[in-house]
Amino acid sequence: MERGAMSVRQLPPQANLRQLKSQAKDLRKASASHDAEALTRIRTNHPRHERSNDDSLVDLSLQEAQLVIAREYGFDSWPRLTEAVESSTGSTAISSIDILLGAGLAQVREQLTLAASTDVPVLLVGERGTGKRLAARVLQGLNGGPVAVVSCDARPDSLGESDIFGFEAGAFTGAHVSTAGKLEEVQGGTLVLNEVGDLSLPAQLRLLEAIEQGTYRRLAGSEEHPFDVRLICTTSTDLRGLVATGALREDLYFLLQVMRMDLPPLRDRQQDLTVLVQHFVEAAPRASGMDAPTIGDDALRLLLNHDWPGNVRELRHVMEAAALAAVDGHIGAQQVRIEAAPTGEQAA
């Protein structure tokens, strides 16, 4: 592949997709202002522009900018560049917790890799304990950069909004000093909103406008800040039901649905259960320097017959307790303590 006067750059060892996407965006902005260096790079690495001598003809789309970046790194397309980055960094992030995701979440793993090459919001849906936060960590690892987590169900309405967007002094009672929000703290990184359905309606509107416009303001602020984060939202609630009751804006609901991933409950992942049991049994004693206990058939039958209303989180706690209660390095049915969930309630 011809490169003209430009040499092929080496990918940085810790390269991630967000960095590469930022490079493409920066190149596009530079080309719009007819930056001489940017125009040289474009003419050297983009077939459509290599014979152009007129600066005004260089009207670069984001996809074309991505192609230029890919060719500068020695790849003939953007997808091939992103595949190379995923294989060197992303696959490591996924394989390190591959046991926890398991065969039952193979489709989710594929979706996470696809999502990493885009900037659209990601919605992770599933019962409590199914691994939504784990999946969010995988995606954050694929994208790189700083990360912040806001639990929308654990904050009063006004505090949740100020947590995310920040506020100016005097914005509300007790706001004595202007304070940056999570969006400013992790600019260029990832913001995770757990239980997004619990966001207040004013916060929902702010979030919707920030995503659509690409900018936002602090509470009571006038300065525009760039909305430059990978947004990951999780929910264990039927968001469509919240829309029907007016608790969730329909326009935000549809925006979050663009890239939705459904994580199945553990009771529908029987092929993963035995592997997960062994993983948790080995992990608990390893932390204290002990050998992993063996698991008796009676204990395993008990585990396989339980429907795990608390999903993987419940299984982890049960196996950690069983490992600590093992007798002579062995776990029998007596060491497996499983509590039935209250009727009609979902274990947290």
Is residue 221 situated within a structural domain? yes
CATH number at residue 231: 3.40.50.300
Look up the domain containing 11 and give its range: 1-96
Taking only the tens place, the pLDDT of each residue in 18-72 is 778 888 888 888 888 888 888 888 888 887 776 556 555 567 788 888 888 888 8
% residues pLDDT > 70 (the chain): 83
Which pLDDT band holds residue 262 (cuts at 50, 70, 90)? very high
Is residue 345 situated within a structural domain? no
Query: In Å, how far from its chain's centre is CA 333?
Result: 38
Which pLDDT band holds residue 90 (cuts at 50, 70, 90)? very low
Would you give the DSSP letter of residue 86?
I
> Dihedrals φ, ψ of 64, to 5°?
-70, -40
Which pLDDT band holds residue 345 (cuts at 50, 70, 90)? very low
323, 331 in Cβ contact below 8 A?
A: yes
Is residue 186 situated within a structural domain? yes
> Is residue 87 domain-shared with residue 227, that is, in the same domain?
no
Taking only the tens place, the pLDDT of each residue in 169-220 is 998 888 899 999 999 999 989 999 999 999 999 999 999 999 999 999 999 9
> Is residue 110 domain-shared with residue 249, that is, in the same domain?
yes
> What does the pLDDT read at residue 240?
96
Listed residues 233, 262, 291: the one ending a domain: 262
Q: What is the DSSP string of 93-154?
A: HHHTTHHHH-GGGHHHHHHHHHHHT--S-EEEE-STTSSHHHHHHHHHHHH-S-EEEEEGGG
Question: Lowest-pLDDT range, 188-192, 279-283, 324-328?
Answer: 279-283
> Is residue 199 domain-shared with residue 221, that is, in the same domain?
yes
Is residue 340 situated within a structural domain? no
> Is residue 282 domain-shared with residue 183, that is, in the same domain?
no
> What does the pLDDT read at residue 331?
95
> What does the pLDDT read at residue 67?
87
How many residues does this entry show for the chain?
348
Q: Any idea which residue has 């264990």 for tokens?
A: 236
Taking only the tens place, the pLDDT of each residue in 113-165 is 888 888 899 999 999 999 898 889 888 887 878 899 999 987 766 678 899 99
CA geometry: angle at 188 spanning 186 and 193, to 5°? 50
Q: What is the DSSP string of 266-318?
A: GGG-HHHHHHHHHHHHHHHHHTTTPPPPEE-HHHHHHHHH---TTHHHHHHHH
Listed residues 236, 262, 288: the one ending a domain: 262
Answer whether residue 311 shows pLDDT above 60: yes
Taking only the tens place, the pLDDT of each residue in 168-181 is 999 888 889 999 99
Listed residues 96, 118, 149: the one ending a domain: 96
> Is residue 35 domain-shared with residue 159, that is, in the same domain?
no
Would you give the DSSP letter of residue 327?
B
Would you give the DSSP letter of residue 173?
T
| SS3 state of residue 225 | strand
> Is residue 3 domain-shared with residue 88, that is, in the same domain?
yes
CA distances from 274 to 33, 46, 130, 238, 319 (A): 59, 52, 16, 30, 12
> Is residue 147 domain-shared with residue 50, that is, in the same domain?
no
> Is residue 86 domain-shared with residue 186, that is, in the same domain?
no
320: nearest Cα among 272, 348, 279, 274: 279
Answer whether residue 97 shows pLDDT above 60: no
Which pLDDT band holds residue 346 (cuts at 50, 70, 90)? very low
> What does the pLDDT read at residue 227?
94
CATH number at residue 322: 1.10.8.60
Which pLDDT band holds residue 5 (cuts at 50, 70, 90)? very low
> Is residue 131 domain-shared with residue 233, that is, in the same domain?
yes
> What does the pLDDT read at residue 96?
39
Average pLDDT, the chain: 83
Exposure on the CB side of residue 90, measured as CA atoms within 13 A: 24
> Is residue 245 domain-shared with residue 149, that is, in the same domain?
yes
Report the number of distinct structural domains present in the chain.
Answer: 3
pTM for this prediction = 0.71
Taking only the tens place, the pLDDT of each residue in 98-121 is 666 676 777 888 888 888 888 899
How far is it, in rounded angstroms, from Cα 214 to Cα 138?
Answer: 25
Is residue 290 situated within a structural domain? yes
Answer whether residue 3 shows pLDDT above 60: no
Is residue 347 situated within a structural domain? no
> Is residue 75 domain-shared with residue 207, that is, in the same domain?
no
Is residue 190 situated within a structural domain? yes
How far is it, in rounded angstroms, from Cα 276 to Cα 266?
Answer: 10
Four-point Cα dihedral 102, 296, 347, 131, nearest 10: -20
> Is residue 120 domain-shared with residue 89, that is, in the same domain?
no
How far is it, in rounded angstroms, from Cα 217 to Cα 206?
Answer: 9
